A = this chain, B = another copy of it.
Amino acid sequence: MSSLAEYEAQRASLIEDDRALRREYLTSNSRSEKEIGADKIVRRIRASEAETIWKEEHSSIPHPFPGMEFLTGKSIIVKTQLFEILSKMPKGALLHAHLDATVNAEFLLELALKQPAIHVRIQKPLEASNLATNLPEFRILPREQCTDIPSLTGPSYPLGSWVSLQNARNSFAPDLGGKDGFDNWVIGSMTINPAEAYGTHNTIAKIWKKFGSTFITSTGLIRVEPIFSEYIRQFFRSSIADGISYVEPRINFLYKHMYGADGQDNIPHREWLVMFDRVSNEVKEEMAQQGRAGQFIGARIIYSTIRFITPEELEWYTEDCIALKKEFPHLIAGFDLVGDENVLKPLIYYAETLLRFRERQKEEGVDIPFIFHAGETLGDGTEADVNLYDAILLGTKRIGHGYSLIKHPKLVETCRQKGIAVEVCPISNEILRLTSSMPMHPLPALLNNGVPVALCSDDPAVFGNMGLTFDYFQVLAASEITGLSTLGAIARDSIEFSTLDGEEKKIALDEFERRWAEFLDYVLEYGQ
């Protein structure tokens, strides 16, 4: 190799070899002129904004850069042209989101305020200094237990007593901010703020405590029949507004009942599915009436419970799941076990029950794929990391998070070859302190290794990354190889690796292509 020209040819070939596994390259020969043009525009804007808006000094944002901590950088992100463009992008499917954290806390509070029987209580006096840790407990009460205690904050409040949400809000102490103070307190208890993520709770273990508490708080509002339906409706509508056309939320079935409008804790799982189905159909109908039928293909549920139960308890849930699948075959998409892998039980602890679950499915003539969380950890060889081996051996259809997957050459190869997609949740990973910023995230490595990826928001109500636009934004900030074609490939794969089957999947993909073409036109016009 003597000449520079020869060197450059070898170099181009090596770079091509290295990128050959990327999923958008598999179809790159067919990339349209339009897509190439739109991709250039997006790259140009990304480069330009990296040098302008991301380099300005911001008093409250000490070190801005593209892909920085989401909770701090969000106020910059929403001002960018890149964000404006991505908000118009069709996103395909949302395959990893915990239902209880899919609707923003403000909206949930509004829903709750419409229910006079919803009450709130605290066990310690509220003070300005303990607003962040003295958390509200919510419950809908039977009519006869409803109270007329006037306030939650007065000296006459009997600690531990239920106060109606309306009363609590209307009389919230002025020195705690009055009604606005109440709203902030409630919303703060169901969301993570920057001071928590990057200050007081700046380790994985500490932020998980805060994270877990948001679910404990919000469940008292969400697991209430009249709210649940409206919550789901809002989840679907806001997803559609962000360009998401299909969702597979995980629903936590740990509690065996939810509360009815009558304040009784007696609505069983099958009723949850009835509600889910009804609202899903209503939203489809609503979209059809607006001539937007293709924008919402529908919704299915990944049945989930939590990794602290015993194997015997798990057996109850697997049987429950089978029964639901038999009654609602179109609604149950899969099965998962959730919770902080770093501290809860590993999959191997449940292996026997999970193997039996598969046998039982055969006996009952149903097919409920595992769609396991695994490797949501910084570990290498820890139980949480080793979950990846179990998830794959148990035949998981996709991997939730798979943050540590890139460490394992054999598993990367298996995911690529068998088509096991990874549900990557960049903003979730960053706020839960697996990574400090997007450029440190393993996603670019997964993409270069040809592992199929579906981009997901995980718990947008807690993290503030509603929809998928924010996560796509972060993906674009993390790699110069990644461009608009990459985002398109990821969105396509979210449909490809969903549990949609034959005809449904084809419709979803066709509709995606139609909208993608429209989107490219939009970008080309934007860039002029």
Binding site for B on A (CB under 8 A): 1-2, 4, 7-8, 10-11, 14-15, 17-18, 20-21, 62-63, 65, 202-203, 206, 348, 351-352, 355, 359, 378-382, 385-386, 389-390, 392-393, 406-411, 434-436, 439-440, 444-445, 448-450, 478-482
> Residue of B at shortest CB range from A354?
B7
A8, A14, A202, A436, most chain B CB atoms within 10 A = A14
A359, A406, A409, most chain B CB atoms within 10 A = A409
The distance from the CB of A357 to the nearest CB of chain B, in whole angstroms, is 13
Are B18 and A479 neighbours in the complex by a CB distance under 8 Å? no
> Residue of B at shortest CB range from A8?
B351
> Residue of B at shortest CB range from A433?
B436
How far apart sit A63 and B206, CA to CA, in the bound complex (Å)? 9
How far apart sit A392 and B7, CA to CA, in the bound complex (Å)? 12
Are B481 and A15 neighbours in the complex by a CB distance under 8 Å? no
The distance from the CB of A348 to the nearest CB of chain B, in whole angstroms, is 8
Are A18 and B406 neighbours in the complex by a CB distance under 8 Å? no
Are B359 and A2 neighbours in the complex by a CB distance under 8 Å? yes
How far apart sit A420 and B11, CA to CA, in the bound complex (Å)? 18
Please give, as numbers and ranges, the residues of chain B lying within 8 Å of A11 by CB-CB distance.
348, 389-390, 393
A8, A17, A18, A482, most chain B CB atoms within 10 A = A18
Please give, as numbers and ranges, the residues of chain B lying within 8 Å of A359 by CB-CB distance.
2
Please give, as numbers and ranges, the residues of chain B lying within 8 Å of A386 by CB-CB distance.
15
The distance from the CB of A19 to the nearest CB of chain B, in whole angstroms, is 8
The distance from the CB of A279 to the nearest CB of chain B, in whole angstroms, is 39
Are B63 and A203 neighbours in the complex by a CB distance under 8 Å? yes
With A15-B386, A480-B381 known as contacts, the answer to whether A408 contacts B7 (CB < 8 A) is no
How far apart sit A307 and B411, CA to CA, in the bound complex (Å)? 39
Please give, as numbers and ranges, the residues of chain B lying within 8 Å of A10 by CB-CB distance.
393
Please give, as numbers and ranges, the residues of chain B lying within 8 Å of A478 by CB-CB distance.
380
With A14-B393, A63-B206, A436-B440 known as contacts, the answer to whether A480 contacts B382 (CB < 8 A) is yes
Are B448 and A380 neighbours in the complex by a CB distance under 8 Å? yes
With A14-B393, A18-B389, A480-B379 known as contacts, the answer to whether A65 contacts B440 (CB < 8 A) is no
Are A409 and B352 neighbours in the complex by a CB distance under 8 Å? no
How far apart sit A155 and B445, CA to CA, in the bound complex (Å)? 58
* Partner of A63 from B202, B411, B434 at Cβ < 8 Å: B202
Please give, as numbers and ranges, the residues of chain B lying within 8 Å of A1 by CB-CB distance.
355
Are A351 and B21 neighbours in the complex by a CB distance under 8 Å? no
Please give, as numbers and ranges, the residues of chain B lying within 8 Å of A450 by CB-CB distance.
409
The distance from the CB of A415 to the nearest CB of chain B, in whole angstroms, is 12
With A17-B410, A478-B380 known as contacts, the answer to whether A435 contacts B440 (CB < 8 A) is yes
How far apart sit A14 and B390, CA to CA, in the bound complex (Å)? 10
Are A439 and B379 neighbours in the complex by a CB distance under 8 Å? yes
The distance from the CB of A15 to the nearest CB of chain B, in whole angstroms, is 6
> Residue of B at shortest CB range from A386?
B15
How far apart sit A21 and B65, CA to CA, in the bound complex (Å)? 37
Are B351 and A15 neighbours in the complex by a CB distance under 8 Å? no
Are B392 and A481 neighbours in the complex by a CB distance under 8 Å? no
With A380-B444, A380-B480, A448-B380 known as contacts, the answer to whether A352 contacts B4 (CB < 8 A) is yes
How far apart sit A410 and B21, CA to CA, in the bound complex (Å)? 10
Subset of 21 A-B contacts with CB under 8 Å = A1-B355, A2-B355, A7-B355, A8-B351, A11-B393, A15-B386, A15-B389, A18-B410, A63-B202, A65-B203, A378-B440, A380-B481, A380-B482, A385-B480, A406-B406, A406-B445, A407-B445, A408-B448, A409-B450, A436-B440, A445-B445
Please give, as numbers and ranges, the residues of chain B lying within 8 Å of A382 by CB-CB distance.
480
Please give, as numbers and ranges, the residues of chain B lying within 8 Å of A444 by CB-CB distance.
380, 407
Are A7 and B351 neighbours in the complex by a CB distance under 8 Å? yes
Please give, as numbers and ranges, the residues of chain B lying within 8 Å of A480 by CB-CB distance.
379-382, 385
The distance from the CB of A417 to the nearest CB of chain B, in whole angstroms, is 13
How far apart sit A1 and B389, CA to CA, in the bound complex (Å)? 15
Are A407 and B4 neighbours in the complex by a CB distance under 8 Å? no
The distance from the CB of A193 to the nearest CB of chain B, in whole angstroms, is 17
The distance from the CB of A347 to the nearest CB of chain B, in whole angstroms, is 10
The distance from the CB of A444 to the nearest CB of chain B, in whole angstroms, is 4
Please give, as numbers and ranges, the residues of chain B lying within 8 Å of A206 by CB-CB distance.
63
* Partner of A449 from B15, B348, B409, B448 at Cβ < 8 Å: B409
> Residue of B at shortest CB range from A352?
B4
The distance from the CB of A277 to the nearest CB of chain B, in whole angstroms, is 35
With A18-B410, A63-B202, A203-B63 known as contacts, the answer to whether A479 contacts B381 (CB < 8 A) is yes
With A21-B409, A355-B2 known as contacts, the answer to whether A378 contacts B14 (CB < 8 A) is no
Closest 10 CB pairs of A and B: A381-B480, A381-B481, A378-B439, A380-B479, A18-B410, A380-B444, A436-B436, A407-B445, A63-B203, A17-B410
